[in-house]
Chains A and B, each alone.
Chain A
Amino acid sequence: MSIFAELIISIALIVSGIFGFVGSYGLIKLKDSIQRLHAPTKATTLGVGGVLIASMVFFHFEKGHISIHELLITLFLFLTAPITANFIAKTYMARNIKEDELPPSTSSYGWSVYDDPPGTEEDQTRLL
């Protein structure tokens, strides 16, 4: 393996290590759950991304074939990470935040954690 490839792999690994560390440190430092939620989104993007890039470069130069698994990991992360974050945020809102602490929505319906969507039974009785 050439020195050039080794350099790229090393840089990618160091970058991902730094961002993984910052993400973990953020979990300790930030003060409530909704702020802490921001920290792991870092670890899953550049943190994991760096390792995946390093892995692709390594297999390309060492074994001479292009590995597609890393791209799939990226795809699955991009599919699952936002959904997890969204569920945590909603749970946190339902348990810890009252509706009047949030800015109002721009329509006549409130945020879906607190308000029912149009067309449900509760909604019909509210309109009457």
Chain B
Amino acid sequence: MLDIRAQLPHRPPFLLLDRVLEREPGVRVVAEKVVTYGDPFLRGHFPDRPLVPGVMLVEMLAQAAAFLEAEPLLDRPVFLAQILDARFKAPAFPGDRLELSVRPGPGFARLRRAEGEVRCDGRLLCTAKLLLAAGEARP
């Protein structure tokens, strides 16, 4: 199985993907995140009713979008440059198995758009259009 940590520089508690299920660089990526009570962002959001903050869903999609790149990003991170659109249609709770799918959009120079959606059991929770910027390679 694909080692996520070999592609992404993110580490716990901010590595938000568990598995990459499908990957066709430049075409499509499907990744998975299982939400658990142990996820640190659920401690305060909210103590009595844990649900995944919308911005974390967007971050999950951005991390999944990193796998659209063929090359590992350990030394050449990708940054979120713009959120063009984000819609949160239903909340994600502990126990939810989130399917994160992303497709690339148009790009120019270091920038490329990506469109993604988060589903749980086929139910659409979130859609987002993001702009990602490839960083400079670190020596």
Q: Do A and B come from one complex?
A: no
Binding site for A on B (CB under 8 A): none
Binding site for B on A (CB under 8 A): none
